[in-house]
Structure formats: structure tokens, C-alpha cells
A and B are shown apart, each in its own frame.
Chain A
Amino acid sequence: MSDFRGKGLAALRAEIAALETGGRAESGFLPFGDLAVDGRLPGGGLPLGRWHEVVGEGLEGETGAAPAAFTALMATPLATRGEAVWVFRRDDLLAPGLIGLGFPAERLIQVCARDEAEVLSVMEDALATVGVAAVIGEVADVDLTAGRRLQLGCEKRGGTAFVLRRSPFGGQARRGIGSTASTRWRVRSAPSEPPAGEFGLGAPRFRVDLERCRGGRTGSFLFEAARPYCLETTDGAHPLRLVADLGDRQLAPAQPLAA
């Protein structure tokens, strides 16, 4: 690929991105620090100032433990930078559990809403607030209008929203017809591997399908929490580490995109 062509492509991409955001500046990206993931995401990382969907599978669709843990890990860099708000209808989130994953749960503001609409409106309100970097909400479904409103809320201050799809109280999860989310991650727990010669459980692992990715490509990954249950403070690296790329078995490595 010639340099000229690369530049042309980058310019074209920037133009399209500007069209997509309606002229507003991009809020940046949060790289995972591994090309196998970042290469599939537009701009080389998780797009900020957008909203992302995290979905569980089977029983997890109701208990929402693996999606919550994965989202907490994904949002940790944002939550340490600014404020974080978690909105839900069932208050079964345990702060010490989030601390163990490295999420600053002692600063997290938790809001228990009364119904689905209220979860979304509280999320919108939080996104419109200066200083709030990450908003995590647990809802059964986000329809197109609600999704659009969330997106507008994200763009207002550049906050990033994560929507955990969780069916309420054992009911059947509604199937959305479409979604305006920037990305959708389907998360399952995966068997952990303790280091050689050690007993017990290893670092939590997650089998993650990037089902939908606006401006990027989908893929499957096996993530591991990089520093679970230890005192060590974050050294700037992303709290999720890629263990293996289950991907679509492309032989050629993903092309790094010009920033």
C-alpha cells in the first residue's frame, strides 16, 4: 500500500467520520492495547462519546454477572479519569466485587430507578453532566428512539454509555429490532487458567463476540482480567488483556488504521 493511497484513505475516513458525527469533534478512543482488537474498532480503540451494548447469554441475560464484570473492566480507565454512574432496577451490585476487578467502586454513584424508562432518562441526565465519563445502565431493551436519545446525550459532553441488556426479574428478554449502538459485545464467562503450578481459579476470562461494530469489523476474542484481586494500582495499561484471538481466522494480521 503506497503512502499516497494511505493518506488519501485516512482523509476520506476523517471526512466520513465528520459527516457521521454531524460536525462535532470526535471524543477520542480508548485503545485496548492489542492490535487484534483495536484494529477491528474504528479509530483504533473503543469509541468514546458513543454508547455501547453489552449482552449476556442464557441465564446470564437475567443475572447479568459476566456482562457486568466485563463492562466494569472496560469502563475502568474512564471511571478512574472521571466520574461514573451505574443505573439499575435491581440493586444486587456488590462494590467489593468491583474493587477486586480494579474498578473504583468507592466513587461510583449508584442509582436504583423504578422502571425502564427511568433508567434511560437517568442515563441521559448523567451523560449531560460535566465530569461524568462513564454511565452504565441495565435495561431490557433500547428501542431506536431511546438509542438515538442516548447517542445525543453522549455527544453533548463526550461521555460514554454502556447499556447492559438485562431482562427484568426473570421475564423473557425482549428482542430489539435494531440498535443505534456503536458496538455490541456478547459476553460469556470462559474457563480460567491459573498460572502453572497454582491451585484454584485463575484470572476471570470472558469469551466475547464483537457482534456489531459501526465503522469497524466484528470478531471474537478471549479476554482475561489483567490484574484481578491484587493490590497493585493500575499502571496505565488496559485492565483487559487479550488471551487469544478466536477471530475469523484471517491469516493476514489486521491492518493498523491511521489515526
Chain B
Amino acid sequence: METTRGTRRIAAVSLEAARLKLHPGQKATDAFAIAPELTTAEAEPEADAAALAALVDWCVRYSPAAAADAPDGLYLDITGLAHLWGGEAELLADFQGRLAAAGLPFRCAIADTPAAAWALAHYGPGGTIAPPGGQQPALDPLPPAALRLDPEAAAQIERLGLRRLAQLFALPRGPFAKRFGKAALLRLDQALGRSGEALSFRRPPTPWVARLAFAEPISTPEDMARVAFDAAEKLCARLEREGKGARRFELYFHRLDGRSPSVVAGLALPGRDARRVAKLLVPKIEAVDPGFGVEVVTITASEVETLSGRQVKLEGAAQPAVEDGLAPLVDRLVNRLGEERVWRAAPVESHVPELSAARVRPLGPATEARTWDPETPRPVRLFRRPEPLDGVIALTPDDPPSQFRWRGQTHRVRRAEGPERIGEEWWKREIEDVSVAHVRDYYRVEDAEGGRFWLFRAGLYEPGAPAKWWLHGLFG
């Protein structure tokens, strides 16, 4: 039950209600006239979407490429995966069996294109499998609405007496497009595989997937660690065969109750060493709750790159290879602390000090930006937020301060350098937001004890207005 434009309408009906000829979109008053004993509940689109997302996640046991088709459908790309179940028919039977066991009403179909599968699932006999290249005969008897047209276009087509797709397929393309619009023609082409269709998969689809199924559900941590290694080995053997390496491995435990928690391991350099991958995955498995048991595990590899075999060095090289030492270290740290806690500073072509260094992946490719200029002194420690200074005595407009107070201590400046004027990056902002108040004049000063500070005056000098001074960093 939902409210659209001030009218209470039915959003979805149960099987029993459907038998009473109630249908979605019907006014609530009409429905109550037909069935006074009707029980209604408020529609919860968010909960429906969450449930669909959970179902899509669950479907990863069949294929890593699963896409939700809101509000009540989903696509599974099973290209090249059916053999894992022994064929498309067996896969479909398994899928239907599990959905039925979960108590979900469903209709499904397998076809060459998403559009054809959608049409067959919604309007064809349940459980259709269109043979490769043979979806047209299967689509022929369906009504035009199976093409996912706008209701108006579908209604117009029906009004013209075209009740079956076969009649549409027989029409010449030019007049068809003219009469029903380009969108209709596109839908027709998508159904027949003459035009591509982009699905937004819940996860980036990857053809790199391996799957292990068990006769009996497993639940002990030792077993889960072992199957992690077995699954990794299976996938890594395939990567090895095809000369590839992956940066990211994701292991899914498909539990009996339909949930599938996952663990992720990232590598700094693409790799395919099952032992190493398993070693990174195993510590995280502890946090996975096996529930009543895990019956299937799947492992996917993403960020797959070509990786040539490593040459074995005959004599001990003076410089150990990065794969030996650093890469495993970075992997260990990244997987333990998280990706954002391990980095290497990369130069950014920006004169603004806090923007001049970016965090990059430790062993990623070198950036193209020039390295920092060693001749412009920069502090060793840069405060995230500049700290305000008080008691600053400075000759205006351009002289460095001769004395300032910071954290309750007065510092007498003995030597100073500057100013170095650093403006904002005005080309990156709206021109209205750019202001001379954002200009900073930096001074490098040294106090009598030898402490070296990097401080700046905000904004341009204005007679009468007190200057604002900040400490931004320490040279040590």
C-alpha cells in the first residue's frame, strides 16, 4: 500500500490477492470493494531495496557478476560458469531449489541477453532456457510489454493490433523507429542481442573466480583456513596458467542460512602465490561467523594484471628484489592496519604546502610529477591546523616578527628569512571565492635558543587592521 499523488494505491499483492484479481496500481478503495477482508501493510521501498541487495549478495555463490534490477529483479551473468554445476539446466535447478527453500516466490529464465532473459522471466513460461542464439523463437509468443517499453508505447503497440513480439520482429526497422520511437527500437535490438546493454553490477564483474563446494557444511576455524588456501590455490593455478597476477582477492563464505560474509586481502604488487594470499586471508577469517556451517566458498580476484614469471637469480644479488622483502611487508601491514595507514609520499605539483605531498600506494607506479624542490626549505613537521600566535611584534608591512608567543612561551627571533608569498590555487575554485585574505606570507625564523619555526601572516597588510599570525610547522 503506497500513496501516490494523494491516492492510496496497491504497490504489491500476495498470491492470494492476485487470485482475487487485485493488481498493483489499483486504488485502495477499489480493492476494498472487491475484497472487504483485505489486509494491507504500508509499502517499505527502502526495506525492499535492502532485501534485494542482500539477495544479490547471496547470488555471488553463482556468479561474481550480479546486478540488481530494482524494484524486484536481478540479473546474473553466468557466462562461462554453468559448467561448475554441470550445465545451465542444473544451475537453474539448483538456483530454483534454493530460492524455493528460502520461501521466495520467483520466476527466472536464462537467455543470451539480459533483455531477453527479462522478457522470458516476466512473460514467458517459468524456468525457460533459451538456447544460445535461439532466443527469437522463444520471444515470439510474448506480448510487446515484455520489451520493457514505456506503458504508453506498449499500449499504443497493442492498440495497433500487434499482440505478439513475432509481429514486431517482422516489421521493417525504419518505420518501426519512426512510429514507436528510438527507445522502442533499442529495446528490440537489446532483446535480440543486436545492441549491447550495460548492467550496473553490484561488484565489478571479474572472470577470475574459483569455487569450492563441500558435501558437509564446515564450521571449524581450521577447516575454514584450509579451504581458504585450497580456494586460493585453485584460483592461483589458473592465474599462473594464463600469466596473470591479481592485486585483490576476496573470499566469500556462503553459509547455510543464505548469508555470505567475505574477507578481502590486498597485495601491493600483483601476485599469484596461493600460500601468501592464504596467509593474508587467514587472520581475518577469525572474525567470520560460520553460523550453522559453510557449504560453498568462492574466491574472486580483481585488479588482474599480466605478470610474467620471475627469473630466478643465480647468484645472490646485492640488492634484494622488491618481491622478496618489501612487497610481503607492505601486504602484511596493509592487511593488518588498513590501506589508508600505509603510504608513500608522492610529489604533487602544488605550491600550497599542505597539498604538496599526496599519499600513494607504497609500491605503486611512480607519479609523473616532478619531485619536490630541495632548495625551498620546508619544515619537517607540518601541523595539520596552523596554530595561532599571540604577542607578535613585527614591523609592518613586510618584516618578520621579532618576537612571538606560542604555547605560552615567548620566543625572540634571532634570524629570519622571507617572506615567501603563497597564494591559494585560485584556478581550482570559483572566482567569487578567491580572496586576497587567503594569501599567506611565510617566514622561516630562528629563535635565540635555535628553534626553527615556519610561520605566516594571513592576508595582505592593511593599515589599522591587526595582522594575524600563525605557526604552520617546525624545522627542528
Residues on A close to B: CB < 8 A? 59-60, 63-70, 72, 83, 85, 92-102, 105-114, 118, 122, 125-126, 129-132, 188-192, 194, 199-202, 204-205, 207, 228-231
* Set of chain A residues within 8 Å of B449, measured between Cβ atoms: 188-189, 191
Q: Does the CB pair A106–B337 fall under 8 Å?
A: no
- Cβ of B155 under 8 Å from chain A: no
Complex partner residue of B476 from A66, A112, A113, A122, CB under 8 angstroms: A66
Check if B357 sits within 8 Å of A131, measured CB to CB. no
**Min CB distance, A53 to chain B, in Å?**
17
| Contact status B344-A111, CB under 8 Å | no
How many angstroms from the CA of A129 to the CA of B353 in the assembled complex?
33
Please state if A94 and B379 are interface contacts (CB–CB under 8 Å): yes
Q: A68-B476, A97-B380, A189-B476 are in contact. Are A132 and B329 (CB under 8 A)?
A: yes
A246 to nearest B CB, angstroms? 14
Which residues of B (403-456) have their CB < 8 Å from a CB of A? 407, 409, 414-417, 444, 446, 448-452
- Once bound together, how far apart are the Cα atoms of A93 and B380, in whole Å? 6
A68 to B476, CA, bound (A): 7
Q: Which residues of A contact B320 (CB under 8 A)?
A: 130-131
Categorize the interface residue count of chain B: 35 or more
Quick check: is B333 within 8 A (CB to CB) of the other chain? yes
A63 touching B356 by the CB < 8 A rule? no
Q: In the complex the two chains form, is A106's CB within 8 Å of B347's CB?
A: yes
7 tightest A-B CB contacts, nearest first? A65-B476, A130-B325, A95-B345, A65-B474, A69-B476, A131-B325, A66-B476
Chain B's nearest CB lies how many Å from the CB of A20?
Answer: 27
Indicate which residue in B409, B450, B476 contacts A70 across the interface (CB closer than 8 Å): B476
A-facing residues in B370-388 (Cβ within 8 Å): 371-384
Pick from B324, B337, B362, B452: contact of A113, CB under 8 Å? B337
Contacts of A122 in B (CB 8 A): 333, 337
Chain B residues engaging chain A, CB cutoff 8 angstroms: 319-320, 322, 324-326, 328-330, 332-333, 337, 341-347, 353, 356-357, 359, 362, 371-384, 407, 409, 414-417, 444, 446, 448-452, 473-476
Q: Which of the residues B362, B375, B379, B452 comes within 8 Å of A189, measured between beta carbons?
A: B452
Question: Does A108 contact B381, Cβ atoms closer than 8 Å?
Answer: no
Given contacts A95-B357, A229-B376, contact A131 B415 (CB under 8 A): no
Which residues does chain B contribute within 8 Å of A98, judged by CB atoms? 380
Enumerate chain B residues within 8 angstroms of A192, measured Cβ to Cβ: 415, 446, 450, 452
> A204–B476 Cα gap in the complex (Å)?
8
Residues of A within 8 A of B381 (CB): 63-65, 68, 92-94, 97
Q: List the A residue with the shortest CB-CB distance to B406.
A: A59
Contacts of A205 in B (CB 8 A): 450
Contacts of A67 on B, CB cut-off 8 Å? 476
A153 to B60, CA, bound (A): 43
The residues of A that contact B382 with a CB separation of less than 8 Å are: 92-94, 97
B191 CB, min distance to chain A CBs, angstroms: 53
- Given contacts A107-B344, A118-B337, A131-B320, list 20 more A-B pairs with CB under 8 A: A63-B474, A68-B476, A93-B381, A94-B357, A95-B372, A97-B380, A99-B372, A110-B343, A110-B345, A114-B337, A114-B341, A122-B333, A130-B320, A131-B322, A188-B449, A191-B415, A192-B452, A200-B417, A201-B416, A229-B375
Chain B residue, CB-CB nearest to A127: B329
Within the complex, the shortest CB–CB distance from A77 to chain B, in Å, comes to 16
Residues of B within 8 A of A60 (CB): 476
Which residues of chain A come closer than 8 Å to B359, judged between CB atoms?
A: 110
Interfacial chain A residues near B451, Cβ < 8 Å: 66, 189
* Contact call A229/B374, Cβ cutoff below 8 A: yes
Residues in A neighbouring B330, C-beta threshold 8 A: 109
B415 contacts A188, C-beta separation under 8 Å: no
